[in-house]
Amino acid sequence: MTANSTSIGGRTAKATGAAVLALASLLLAPPARAEFRHGLSAFGDLKYPAAFKHFDYVNPDAPKGGRLSTIGTEGRTTFDSFNNFILKGDAAQGLDYLFDTLMTRANDEPDAVYGLVASSAEVAPDGKSVTFRLRPEAKFADGSALTAEDVVFSFETLKQKGHPNFGLALRDVVKAEAPDTQTVRYTFKGDLTRDLPLTVAGLPILSKAYYSAHPFDQTSLEPPLGSGPYTIGEFKPGTYVIFKRRPDYWAKDLNVNVGRFNFDELRYDYFRDRRIELENLFSGNVGLREEFTSLDWATAYDNVRAIKDGRIQRATLPDERPSGTQGFFINTRREQFKDKRVREALDLAFDFEWSNKNLFFGLYTRTQSYFENSPMKASGPPSAEELKLLEPFRDKLAPEVFVEPYRPPVTDGSGRNRDNLRRAKELLTAAGYGGPEAGGKMLNVEILIFEDGFERIIGPYINNLKKIGVNATLRLVDSSQYERRMKSFDFDVSIERYVLRLTPGVELKSYWGSDAAKMDGSFNLAGVQDPVVDALNDRVIEAKSRAELITAARALDRVLRAGHYWVPQWYKAAHNLAFWNRYSWPAVKPKYDEGIIDTWWYDADKATKLSGN
């Protein structure tokens, strides 16, 4: 999450003279000018022209109406706040639908955004600023005008009082200013400015008037004022929340919104147990559920009457995004995990092949990379371009960085993981954790979770850890306590999954940056503090082309994998969905998104047939 440089020189007076004349012509020429564009992307490429009618992956004639009731996909089992901008509290899902942004994502492009509150944007030729022109018709849900003053207020408030991740992402944004009510200009510092126009274009816009009367930095269950397509309706803390579509939404007919936000109501239900989730799906209390448990996907739907007669449909949607970094994250802030040999031993003890065969019905693939399922995944020996980035740090890097990237150990799936466990035991003994019988210390490892569905997976892992002399235990806590402990890094080992963007940028500093390791609430669970990782993060962020970005990400991947900061688990480049047959969707799925809430719609004809069954 170094600037390019040029030099002028020559071996002859003629060459030198030509260089001087060239430089003079540049100095005398009028300054380069940018231009206002209807969209932005990291490398300047946009799929859609200025006059586009709608995104290709929507149905522009999709009807509005009906309700989508779902459980959500963020792993939350409760909520106690409608403020998702701060570190405190457990925020409800779906709150992003309350707030507009200057520009909005196109989900069939890697990183392009197009005008929403802002009709256009101009990035300065030196990349040190971006200016947005706002639409005068933009309004908050109470009818008040949304102006540049609100945008400036939002930036300052999020950076100063928001979740620490906002401060980290906006660290190099010096200021936002409003030359007039319809213009906002952001100024940047430093060399890592490539993604900052996209970052500020995606910030939620808050009402200055509303938050002047309501504390921003406190949890609250008062529905906040936004300008987006939905408002909060009925809710019961920790149980459910309903979002209602705004028929008076100011931007409902903009090209970026045509065919989107088709449900009159979005209902998110919260359950503390996945079995109860399934029961509510089968009984019709929940309309759609994404299945994350391979055992349930393989067996739990077989004898359900509504499945057999077609009232509940099952579908698998391909996922073309990077598949993320799911695994057992090892907290290197703990003294016992500072030695890399200890962390590698924990990896050797995990028998994925046995788990996949006996627990997952063979549905998963072992994760190897922090950029899994993407071109950014390192493979084979480093390329010449990667070596240019890695060589300056050779004396600080492990030798294995310069050969094949580290890959997790493979077993035959029989459960007899003797070779790997023997190697793990040797590493622990060398690190001084051979146990009292070997004249060493006892290694204590507590694995923290908040849902019991992982117990069947962690149990065999703990058994393997005990075979190598590790005092491993499992701690199951409620989701609120889990959130608090994760935010303060009060854990030994825990399970998490992060999905990176197709064009990773400044957020890398939150995942693996040294500053983030010391910042409560950051995504740097492992506590990575490595100046080489920091430098490679910067090389990804400052890349001037996608080819440069891929090269830098692969180099970063090699270093992180050699650090053994996690025990990689598994991935599945698809979404498994089960839903009642009352919904329809466009012919084209957005390449980089499920598209469910964004583009699906309630199909009245299907619903009528369904009720007649």
Kindly tell me the sign of the dihedral angle through the C-alpha atoms of 450, 451, 454, 459. positive
Q: What is the DSSP letter of 393?
A: G
pLDDT for 7 equals 28
Answer yes or no: is 386 within a domain: yes
Domain C-terminal end among 188, 209, 230: 209
Instruction: Give residue 309's identity as a one-letter amino acid code.
Output: D
Give the pLDDT confidence of 525-574 residue by residue, as tens digits.
999 999 999 999 999 999 999 999 999 999 999 999 999 999 999 998 89
Answer yes or no: is 545 within a domain: yes
Mean pLDDT, the chain, integer: 91
Answer yes or no: is 391 within a domain: yes
Say how many C-beta atoms besides its own lie within 10 A of residue 154's C-beta.
25
pLDDT for 292 equals 86
Answer yes or no: is 5 within a domain: no
- Quick one: which of 600, 573, 510 has its CA closest to 321? 573
- What is the CB-side half-sphere exposure of residue 400 using CA atoms within 13 A? 11
Domain C-terminal end among 209, 235, 255: 209
Answer yes or no: is 441 within a domain: yes
Give the pLDDT confidence of 79-117 residue by residue, as tens digits.
999 999 999 999 999 999 999 999 999 999 999 999 999
pLDDT for 29 equals 41
Assign residue 547 a region: left if phi > 0, alpha if psi is -120 to 50, beta otherwise? alpha
pLDDT for 16 equals 33
Query: What is the separation of C-alpha 389 from the centre of its chain, rounded to a whole number of angstroms?
Result: 26
pLDDT classification of 434: cutoffs 50, 70, 90: confident
pLDDT for 72 equals 65
Inform me whether the pLDDT recorded for 20 exceeds 60. Answer: no
Q: What's the mean pLDDT in 419-441?
A: 88
pTM, 2 dp? 0.86
Answer yes or no: is 162 within a domain: yes
Inform me whether the pLDDT recorded for 24 exceeds 70. Answer: no
Domain count, the chain: 2
Query: What is the separation of C-alpha 399 from the centre of its chain, rounded to a whole number of angstroms?
Result: 31
CATH number at residue 352: 3.10.105.10
Tokens of 579: 């839903």
Q: What's the mean pLDDT in 449-473?
A: 93
Domain that residue 391 falls in:
327-571
Burial of 178 (0-12, 13-18, 19+ CB in 10 A): middle
Domain C-terminal end among 209, 231, 261: 209
pLDDT classification of 611: cutoffs 50, 70, 90: confident
CATH number at residue 130: 3.40.190.10
Full DSSP string of 196-236: HHHHHHTSPPPPHHHHHHS-TTS---SPPP--SSEEEEEEE
**Residues 513 and 378 reside in one and the same domain:** yes
Q: What's the mean pLDDT in 50-73?
A: 94
Question: Which of the two residues, 18 and 327, has the higher pLDDT score?
Answer: 327
Q: Between the CA of residue 152 and those of 157, 187, 205, what are the distances in Å?
A: 9, 12, 9
Kindly tell me the sign of the dihedral angle through the C-alpha atoms of 156, 159, 163, 165. positive
**Residues 332 and 204 reside in one and the same domain:** no
Answer yes or no: is 455 within a domain: yes
Q: For a pLDDT cut of 90, what percent of the chain falls above it?
A: 84
Answer yes or no: is 199 within a domain: yes
Q: What's the mean pLDDT in 473-497?
A: 94
Give the pLDDT confidence of 218-234 residue by residue, as tens digits.
999 999 999 999 999 99
pLDDT classification of 499: cutoffs 50, 70, 90: confident
